[in-house]
Structures are given as C-alpha cells and as structure tokens.
Chains A and B, each alone.
Chain A
Amino acid sequence: MGTIRELWDNALSKYADITAVRWLEKKEIKERSYKELGEDIMAIRKGLQAEGFAGAHIALIGTSSVEWIGSYLGITTGQNVAVPLDAGLPSEDLIDLLNDADAQALFLSPKRKDLAEQVRSQCPEIQKIWLLQETMEDGYATVEDLKAAGLDTADVAGRQAEEIVTLIYTSGTTGKSKGVMLTQNNLCENAASISFTAEPGTPVLSVLPIHHAFCLVMDWLKGFSLGATLCINDSFMHMVRNMGIFKPEIMLMVPLMIETIYKKLAAADPNIPPAVLAENVFGGKLRIIFTGGAHLDPFYIEKFAAYGVQVLEGYGMSECSPVISSNTPDDHKDGSIGRPLPNVQIRFEDGEICVQGSSVMQGYYHMPEETAKTLKDGWLHTGDKGYLDEDGFLFINGRVKNLIILSNGENISPEEIEGKLGLHPLVGEVIVTGENNGLTARIYPDQDVVKFKNLEEEAVKAEIQQMLDDYNRRQPTYRQITGLVVRKNPFHRNATGKIKRPEAELD
C-alpha cells in the first residue's frame, strides 16, 4: 500500500539536490530541484489548508508546467482530491465537467483566463480560482497568493492509501465523459509495478497531455520516484527542437508521434550516418520510447532500433491507473503489448480481457450503472479482446464494443479485418461496418498513392474492389466484404486521434 505523499517525500529525501523539472521560458532553460519543488508543494498544501479545503475536489485546467505539477502534488500530498481536465476542451464542456466533478476550487492556466468569469457564474460549487502562475496579478488570485495564505499554517498529513486521490475523465468515442475514481494506492502501485529503473537525474521529455493518466503516472509519478529530471515539451510543434535542447534518454509517446518522427527519418539523405541522424532528430541521447494508447505497427520498432532507440509498447486504460501490461527493456516481444504487470491478474471472458488488481479503479464518479457494467464481480472489463501467448505476453486482436454481430450468430471483430485490408497500399484509412446483415468496407484511399499512380476515381474504386475480391476468396462466407464505399474525405477523429466509429458513415 502506498500514497503519493510517501512517494514524493521519499523522492525528496533521496534526490533533494537533483533537478526535478526543466522547462523553457522565452527560449531560456529554467529548472527547479526536488528540494525547491518540494517547497512549492508544501506551500500549496498549506495554502489549501488555510483556505479551508480538506477532502475537496480541486480541478486543474492547464498544460504541463512546473506550476501545474506543483499544484497537483500540493493537492494530492495533502487532504484533497485532484481533478485534471483537458485545457483544450471548449468552455462549455469544461463547465460541465467542473460541475459533474463537484469541484470546489480550480487551478487555471493563465492562457484560459477567459474561463474564469464563466466559472464564477456557472459553477456554484467553486469557491476559489487560482491562476497557475508564480506572479501576482490584479483582479485574479494566483498560486503565489495561495502560498502566501498558508505561510502561518502548520503542515497537514496526507490521506490514507485507500482514499480517492484523483478523478480522471475519460474521453470515450461516444457518450458522456466518465470520471474514473482512483485511489492513492491505485496510482502508486501502478508506478511501482512497472519494472523499469533509471539513474537519478535521467532526463525524460514529457510530450503527452498531463491530464491523461499515462503521462501523469508514468512520466511524472514514476519519474519522480526514480529521481528523474522531467523536461517539459511546450508544444508538439517544437518537439524535435526540444529533443535537441533537453537531450532526453526516455520519452512516452502515442503511436501517431512515432509515425511522424519516422517520416523525418525516412526522408533524410541516406548518406547521413544513423548516429548523426539520431543526434539531429532525437537529440542524440534517446534510448527508450514507451508507447501506448493505440496499436503500433511493429514495423516502427525495427526502424527505430536502427537509430539506437528501443520502442516498447504497452497497454492500459484510465480505469487501471493506467498501465495493465508493458514491454520492458529486458523483457519484450515485438507486436505484443508486453506481460501483465505483477500487480495485475488477467482472465478472459468470451475473449475479452478482464483485469483485477491493486490499480483497478473504484468506479465512475456518480455513475453506479456505468460502474456496474464495467466492474463485474471485482473484474474490470476492458472492452478489448486479446490473448496471452505461450510465453505470457499479451496481444490485442479487437474491441468488444465494436463487435459486429451478424444475424447468423457470427461475431466479427472489424479491427482484425481492417488490419488486413489496411495492408494494401491504396488503403489510407478503413472502417468495416455491419450493414444489411453483411460487411461493408469504408475506405479512404491513400492520397499519396492515388497521386503517384495518377488514378482517376473509377480506377481507384476498381483497384480497391479487386483487392476485396482477392481478400474474399480467402475467407469464409461470413467474413466476406459485400459492400464498398470509397470515401472522399478522411474519417472524423476524436480528440485523441481515434476514428469515431459511430460517425463512419458520414463523409
């Protein structure tokens, strides 16, 4: 059993003089040691106590910053519950989430100052708003004001391991966002169960959104537990430049980022030696990329290895704090999503991966029915289909939710077919849907290939149909594709880049 207070205090005692956070301010590198960050955290914790917040839900709206992480730890090492929200959401969605979470106070990015007035008028439970900045400002309270408020207050103890520490809102493709309730122990056990270690002071460049559990737990909490130096990427626009500046050894990414970086590697002059290219693109020190959130084609693992970068795929969901399984530097199998973590038990129900263990959530906030659908008999139903191979590595081969059930009783996993059809060079994006009791492939052609081959619309359709005919010949009847729609536009995607399946028919 562990708490964030214990995790942080332990890091503070071991790594006081090491740099905890490094970031850019007008192109100048700034940094703060574990000791200095510890002082911020304690001041915020005391400030919240002085302002009368204990057991309160306190929201954070902002991108990664030293003020954000200081405030998050100020909340969670004391007596309160943190609710990190996506600063990129429209104002009305943020207002809804603040109300849904029963937030009583808010830390707000100065870039979203526009929201303050709306929050005051539309979120009756919110008593205080502090801007995430370390200077005072007329008309607003800031983190500095909060720290000043707690100057004469005694420090407060942390909460118990089994108490809720965070609500993480999940961005499902459909339906209402759900507030995942995670305990102190859920998060700490997840960070501790990843079998990975690094020397204190190892630079980690944090590029994912900090309100996501993967970034929050694996970059920040795990990083701090190892004494790592967390470097903040200010924008994806500057990721390559920032890799050159901060020279990270370790990064967490989603597959789309890996694909973008690969394009730059592939387009480089082949006469440039790999070590020089690695220096230009990765900063020269990068050795490990952990990836998750979507499936990564193993093709990239091999390609990045040529530049000395090991890509390790994992799997998880916010409901599991979030990592369920992961490849590690010493124990990995390409194409798999690694072995389940030691604190996780796995079983399969009709092929669905079900998880039990110390990182599984307590439920969805205020949503007993949704909770009951997902947590049955103590097992978290992931909605993903998968299997363990003979060596104990986990593989995913579809989503339960997306199963197409035909009237003959056959269940079809569209992802499996999409994966096969997607191998054809002319197929840019594909979604398989069940229609008229048969399967329809909706395909957005790869525009590079269309241009390269100089194909007219009819020729594109004919070539794709030929590919489907070839595919169908190798399949049992129920798996054959009977309809084809060639799209004029790419599919709609959600905020995390996943295709919105329910909108697949809209072009």
Chain B
Amino acid sequence: MRNLFAFIYRFRAFLVFVLLEALCVYLIVQYNTYQGAAFFNSANRYVGRVLEFQSGVTDYFNLATVNNTLARENALLRQELLTYRQAGITDSTSRLDTTLVVPVDTTIVDSLRTGPQTFNLHAGRVINNSVRRTNNYLTLSIGTKDGVEPGMGVIASNGVVGRVKTVSDNYSTVTSLLHSQMLISAKIKKNNTMGTIKWQGGDYRTAILDYVPLHVKLAKGDTIVTSGFNTVFPEGIMVGTISSVAKEADKSFYTIKVKLAVDFAQLSYVYVVENLQKAERDTLEYKAGILPNE
C-alpha cells in the first residue's frame, strides 16, 4: 500500500496532467455536442459585463456605419409601409353602400390576407464578435429576460446571422453562420431549389451552397434566401448572392460560392427571431415521425 502511494506521489505531475487533459477533452466534447448545457461561456453574467464594457468603448468607432444601416433599414420599412397604405387607399370595399353590399368583417379579411402573427423580433446589441476563427460566436446583450431562448434564429437587417446557443438572464451567445458545424437550410429565390448553406473557414464574406443538383439552371448573381423549412428562420430572409458556380467531374452537385449579404465584421445590432408557432409545428412534425433537423 505504501509503495502504491509512493508511486502515485512520484508520478503526481504526470497524473495531474492526464487528469486535467481528460477534463479539457470532456469540456470540448460536451460544449460541441450538447446545446445549451454549458455554463462557462460568454453568456455568463460576469464575462458578459466585461465584454459589454469593451464594446462600450469600441462601439464609438463604428457609429457612422450603424447610423447608415439603421437609416437604410428605415427607408426600406417606410417604402413597404407606403405600399400597404396605397393598397388601403385604392381598396374601396369599406366605402361601398351597405344597403346593397353586405359589409365584410375586416378582421377576418385581414387575418386571411396575412395570416396570424407568427414571428416576434427582439432587437439586441452585439457585444462580442469574431470572424477569423474556425468557429465563430457572437455575444448579445439580451437574454431570457427579453424573451430569448436557445435555438432561436438571429438575423440582421440585411440577412441571416446565426442561431442562439446559450442564454443567461441578460446575455446570450449565438453560433454565427461562420461556424464549421453550422448548416442553414436555404433555397434559390428564382426557382425554389433547396440547398444547404455552410461556411468552410477562411474568407468571412464567402460561404458554400451545397446539394444543388446539376440539372438546375443557375446564374451568377442569383439570390439565396432561407427556405422556411424549419422553425428557426422565417421564409425568404436574405442569405447572399451567388458569386461563382462550378461543376466538378466527380460530384453530382454544383459547387456554388455565395457572397454573404451580412458583413459579419460590421455587425452591431441584430434581431432574435421568436417563432410563436414553433412548439405547435415541432410537436406535429415529431408526432408524424419527422426528426427535428438542425
């Protein structure tokens, strides 16, 4: 027995080394596979505070860009609002003589036209961001108090950003589209061909669109949008435009490079998408035997 203790004591440094490395490997594996279970990450309260302090200083340097983006978004929204208003003015149903025409219940008509509200957006400030690593994450200064939950989609005013990974009271971490294991279901806008967007490292402005069969006709500059086939992103959110198409001899799919619409290095405000019908749709699909896809 004493020999055993002497042995352990003699090799204590090596044993501690092996133990610590095992712990590290456990952490790596656990953080990569199990969503939302990790406690030690940048959504942690104290870590979040440090990052918020840092972005409080650096945010001043890109105020001009932020203003530009917001102004452009405002213009776009105003334009959309204007078209609705025009439609409302030209629609004369409400002014018809009620003695001749039975008045239509407007609430029903409206809900038929647009459907019930399915998406809520929560605006959040980006307090930590990276674009140059193999696996990039963002940290937002909104958390469960603002209605954010793991698994929700994140978009910016000009396109898709990523997906919420973990949430604390006031902060949340987002797996960026620039992550080696992030896949986003997308489609080509003009002919609705499905594909999968993924990022392969390197340049943070370019991603790959995979699984587009060879018979589809493509052109440079075609728009890629989200497919809406899962509950994470609404349908039709901009992803990017095709920058190059190549056929490779040994593949049955195109190799398509996509120029991403979002400049990840300039992100400062994003929206977390809450899908109000997520639970209903997911349970239905689960009951039907469709496994939830990532």
Report whether chain A binds chain B: no
